[in-house]
Amino acid sequence: MDGRFEDSTLSGFTEALASKAPVPGGGGAAALSGAVGAALSSMTASLTIGKKKYADVQPDMEKLLEKAEELRLGLLDLISRDAEAFQPLAEAYGLPHGTPKEQERKEKVMEEALHKAAETPYQIMERTAEALVLAREAAQKGSKIAVSDAGCAAVILEGALKAASLNVFVNTKLMKDRAFAGELDRKTERLLAENVALAEDVYRLAEEKVHG
């Protein structure tokens, strides 16, 4: 594909995703899912703003809409940033390693590339966690006719969070710097545990309101 992935059509992106090309991959898919989740919280806010019944929460919904849009655009940008971060790692795999000097250089380049490749999916997780907070607020305060959209946001964001975490772990596993890898793994696991629980709570809240 030419250009940045976030500017492609859905058909073009999924076609590239389905191909044997190294990018886009799971990280890019996680970022796209995160952007979709943020957009659904925006939808809930948009359907709440201007309604007399929800006049008391309109300022909150306006702030939510602004923040969700910022996250949506940021997550879309991370699709291409994830691909860009992976490129040096793909190149590092192809470096010669026939001599001790070549092996040493390859290991150094690989280590640097693994750090960069793990950084972007972690950032995707951070943005997704922020989007989950907005989904909770949308479910709590948003219009009842749009609460299902907030619930959908939570489900999709939970998937994005888990997908991004796998893309952190697949890189930390190969790192020689085990102290750095271990710390990043712990941070990732913490983000995962806290926000999967949050996503489940938001889903249950939306489900109760839908059935109620």
Q: Are 111 and 177 in contact (CB under 8 A)?
A: yes
Per-residue pLDDT, 3: 54
Q: Are 83 and 28 in contact (CB under 8 A)?
A: yes
Q: Are 128 and 34 in contact (CB under 8 A)?
A: yes
Per-residue pLDDT, 129: 98
Q: Are 62 and 45 in contact (CB under 8 A)?
A: yes
Per-residue pLDDT, 42: 98
Domain boundaries, the chain: 23-211
Per-residue pLDDT, 91: 87
Per-residue pLDDT, 93: 85
Q: Are 192 and 162 in contact (CB under 8 A)?
A: yes
Per-residue pLDDT, 2: 47
Q: Which fold has domain 23-211?
A: Four Helix Bundle (Hemerythrin (Met), subunit A) (1.20.120)
What is the rounded CA–CA span in Å between residue 118 and residue 171? 6
pTM summary value:
0.93
> Closest by alpha carbon to 88, among 115, 51, 48?
115
The residue count for the chain: 212
For the chain (212 residues), the mean pLDDT of every run of 10, in chain order, is 74 93 92 98 97 97 98 97 89 87 91 95 98 98 96 98 98 96 98 97 97 87
